[in-house]
Structure 1
Amino acid sequence: MKRLVTTALLMAAATAHAQKFDGLADTPQMGWNSWNKFGCDINEQLIRDTADAMVKNGMRDAGYRYVNIDDCWHGKRDENGNIQPDPQRFPSGIKALADYVHARGLKLGIYSDAGNTTCGHKPASRGREYQDARTYAAWGVDYLKYDWCDTEGLSAKGAYTTMRDALRAAGRPILFSMCEWGDNKPWEWAQDVSHSWRTTGDITACWDCELSHGSWTQFGVLNIMDKTAALRKYAGPGHWNDMDMLEVGNGLTPDEERAHFSIWAMMTSPLISGNDLRSMSAETLKILTNRNVIAVNQDKLGVQALRRIAQGDLEMWIKPLDGGDWAVMFLNRGERTLDYRHDWQKYALADDLSKHEADLKKTRFRWTDLWNGAGGDTAKPLDVKLKPHSVLMLRLKAQG
């Protein structure tokens, strides 16, 4: 009995000091997730083909690393309570799939839920957190997306902290992505619990809309941007505001796709593509692999952009970058083309939250358009023509 009590106390002490794994999301995570395009219609061949496509099309080399299986991979639990993959959809098992993905220089992600069942009504992890975490580690999983369905009576902070501790106890470094939809203000308490947390309900492929499903709501690109804008002080290396998976390639216009990708990059959201990588257009691939825009997202300062100007449908967002550079984005939210002249010397680049500032009256910056490569400098005003639902995204570098 004394040995049992001692063991229990040691386990309790270890749990009390457990932390998420460091170094897994010093910059926002990048990858792919099955849900937006495929929902529950998934199988191991899709995951293998997606990993192959990510290598072949250059996404891996552009920084995308995680191939994430979302809901509905689950089969039943075995006689010992260990979760098993669906034998029809994943006959080779998750370990073999992880080995396949790892052999291509990529990482495998998986999905579970803090409640009794997942959003797709599959077995979830409530009460089996440590058992499931050990299973994921044994399979070679690198990423866990953890949802919030069927959680009546649960404390969000308690449930997510339990899974964090379980992942730590399992011993394998696994990036922990909370999908709690912002219901319990995770940005206020999850910095030491997870590597990212969702700020809103699910995204949908529209520019500016809300789609109610009764008990839950989906949001368009601008809606998620607006809801996340006020949370910038909570984002930083290792702990990110997650604005949900990207809808690039899922039905937005090309201008909307470029704007969507630019906004997510500026706001340091994880870049998790949600389209079919096996059959996307060359234009969609070009957007997803724009290394200049990706570099803004992956900047090691990790400062979420500030909305500097809001004048009707026109907005200007600024983001300080490592080495004294700045990213600047002009956004047209509206339905008509906007002509705008921006006087650089009238609006200082200043962010009192991150304590970065540049006086353009004293320092000249050279700017580069991150979508078409055009250039100029801040010595003269910038004439901007923005089509509806589009952006101009620039990187500014001080001239010596």
Structure 2
Amino acid sequence: MKKTLRTLLSAVLIATVAPVALSLAPSAQALENGLGRTPQLGWNDWNSFGCNVTDSLIRQTADTMVSSGMASAGYTYVNIDDCWSEKSRDGSGNLVPSRSKFPNGVKAVADYVHGKGLKLGIYSSAGTTTCAGYPASLGNEQRDANLWASWGVDYLKYDNCGDHQGRTGQERYTAMRDALAKSGRSIFYALCNWGNDNVKQWGPATGNSWRTTGDIAGNWNSVTGILDAQPGWASAAGPGAWNDPDMLEVGNGLSDTESLAHFSLWALLNAPLIAGNDLRTMSAATRTILTNTEVIAVNQDWGGRQGNRLVDNGNTEIWTKPMANGSVAVVLLNRNSGTTTVSTSASQIGLGSASGYSVRDLWAHTSGTTTGAISASVPGHGAAMYVVSGGNGGNPGGSTFALRGQGSNRCLDITGASQANGTLAEIWDCNGQGNQTFTATNAGELRVYGAKCLDVSGGGTANGTAVAIWDCNGQGNQQFRLNTDGTVTAVAADKCLDVTGAATANGTKVAIRDCSGNANQKWTRA
């Protein structure tokens, strides 16, 4: 059973994670609105203030976001949640900002936030009322989208409360997507339907992010409960469309140690990092956690997969995320109430064999080396977080191998052993010949015949674009990443090397396609 006893530790415990054991020390097509190419960073008032949102709170929070270093660390959105309006629309059917909470209206607040170099978010629901009983947007999608655009709103959190009038989740959320697109303003669209209505299938084409669960609360039980629901969602995420396990409770009911673990894991999950604490009164420890740019960099790096759980040993877990440069981010999680040693290895996290690896501790901000062991003494309800590089995983510069398809048991092959530009890649019985022998370079190329590179034809990004060979030219369509799960990502297209139709016959051509995790997209180096 997962233990959930809280251990209250002081802020100094942030730095007490023991160092790593060192040798010397696919989803549906994403919504194309140009937003959310990496997960969004910001703040929302609900977790700390509920309905007590005001003009002054939003302005003061924007001030603090800048003065605390959060803005320079990448936080952008200052988001207003429920209860911001009057209880009824005006005579023209428009939403009206609360006269007591926002006496100067929302546009004045948006102008102030924009003046700080930040962006403003608003809230509504895909029903007739919001969760707190205020007027919502079902049936008024275009009217409301146009109004928010006129105010200068940059972000919409769209909840799932109120009467749905018999309409499906997909219908209700798509209606607002289309209204935002016609509003004349770029507005980030965050779906909040709590993981219901099979949103994993239609969410990526509808919003920039979508909630995967119910609401989070400021306690360890809630954080770990939501964490346990995330592995099944990993395949749906990608640039422009992100799984959202709900807002951060860092510094809001959690101990500093729990907050550090929570932030590490949400970063590894490519989750939106939306702070939910009172920024104006946060402790130095909370600020240090929220502004750790090395951890934020893991969140903002799209390496072909969001992070996922690799090992579950009951109360200790190992979570990993492939990074774009071939390294692997690792979180060692201790769900026990007392300090425990948590260990893994370079080979277990998919980095293959080498004489040594570099290890960066993202919380101690120190670097070291290891021959393969990765281990930390982790406090109760805590985590250690590293980026490990080296070996022959990810970008295995200089290593040579064949790629055997797991679904077909045949090798990636250049048709007819031709060396002509444009010759297509296919699968064929593995034979050890030169047209099945690839060399990975530090530039991310997969070279064959020495001077030819595997190439996504024409630099295309659409599903089904052919893969061929061409003179190596350093372009993005010749960069491939070998992932720890066996997939091979075409970096520029952010799609996987795919045996067409999951066929297994000799001569079946290879193309790029949305990553699905199926066997026809998995390859073993031989």
Same fold (TM over 0.5): yes
Query: Secondary structure of 1:51's partner?
Result: helix
Which of 31, 49, 64 aligns to 2:60? It is 49
Cα-to-partner distance string for 1:192-249 (whole Å, 9 max, x where unaligned): 10000000000001112xxxxxxxxxxx111111111111000111110101110011
Structure 1 CA distance, aligned partners of 2:342 and 2:61?
42
> Structure 1 residues 384, 142: closer, same or farther in 2, change over 3 A?
same
Residue of structure 1 equivalent to 2:46: 35
1:200 aligns with 2:213: yes
Residue of structure 2 equivalent to 1:4: none
Structure 1 CA distance, aligned partners of 2:384 and 2:214?
27
Does the aligned pair in 1 maintain the 2:31–2:240 contact within 8 Å?
A: no
1:160 aligns with 2:176: no
Residue of structure 1 equivalent to 2:131: 119
Amino acid at match of 2:136: A
Tell me how far 1:256 sits from its aligned partner. Answer: 0.3
If you compute each CA radius of gyration, which structure gives the higher value, 1 or 2?
2
Query: Secondary structure of 1:94's partner?
Result: helix
Residue of structure 1 equivalent to 2:326: 324
Pairs aligned (count): 361
> Structure 1 residues 173, 20: closer, same or farther in 2, change over 3 A?
farther
Does the aligned pair in 1 maintain the 2:124–2:137 contact within 8 Å?
A: yes
Cα-to-partner distance string for 1:299-343 (whole Å, 9 max, x where unaligned): 033621121111121111111111112101110112222124434
1:109 aligns with 2:111: no
1:58 aligns with 2:69: yes
Structure 2 portions without partners, runs of 5+:
1-29, 392-396, 398-526
Residue of structure 2 equivalent to 1:89: 101
Residue of structure 1 equivalent to 2:203: 190
Structure 2 CA distance, aligned partners of 1:118 and 1:380?
52
Query: Identity percentage over the alignment?
Result: 49
Greater percentage in helix? 1
Which of 163, 180, 187 aligns to 1:151? It is 163
Structure 1 CA distance, aligned partners of 2:129 and 2:33?
29
> Structure 1 residues 192, 385: closer, same or farther in 2, change over 3 A?
same
Deviation larger for 150-159 or 225-234: 150-159
Residue of structure 2 equivalent to 1:396: 388
Structure 2 CA distance, aligned partners of 1:329 and 1:288?
17
Does the aligned pair in 2 maintain the 1:30–1:271 contact within 8 Å?
A: yes
Structure 2 CA distance, aligned partners of 1:362 and 1:320?
18
Q: TM-score, normalised by structure 1?
A: 0.87
Tell me how far 1:20 sits from its aligned partner. Answer: 4.8
Query: Secondary structure of 1:84's partner?
Result: coil
Within 5 Å, give how 1:168-317 maps onto structure 2. Answer: 168-208=181-221, 220-301=222-303, 303-317=305-319
Tell me how far 1:113 sits from its aligned partner. Answer: 0.6
Does the aligned pair in 1 maintain the 2:238–2:304 contact within 8 Å?
A: yes
Residue of structure 2 equivalent to 1:3: none
Tell me how far 1:144 sits from its aligned partner. Answer: 0.2
Amino acid at match of 2:147: T
> Structure 1 residues 270, 343: closer, same or farther in 2, change over 3 A?
closer
Structure 2 CA distance, aligned partners of 1:105 and 1:86?
25
Q: TM-score, normalised by structure 2?
A: 0.67
Tell me how far 1:364 sits from its aligned partner. Answer: 3.2
Structure 2 CA distance, aligned partners of 1:27 and 1:363?
34
Structure 1 portions without partners, runs of 5+:
1-18, 209-219, 350-357
Amino acid at match of 2:328: W
Does the aligned pair in 2 maintain the 1:34–1:274 contact within 8 Å?
A: yes
Structure 2 CA distance, aligned partners of 1:270 and 1:285?
17
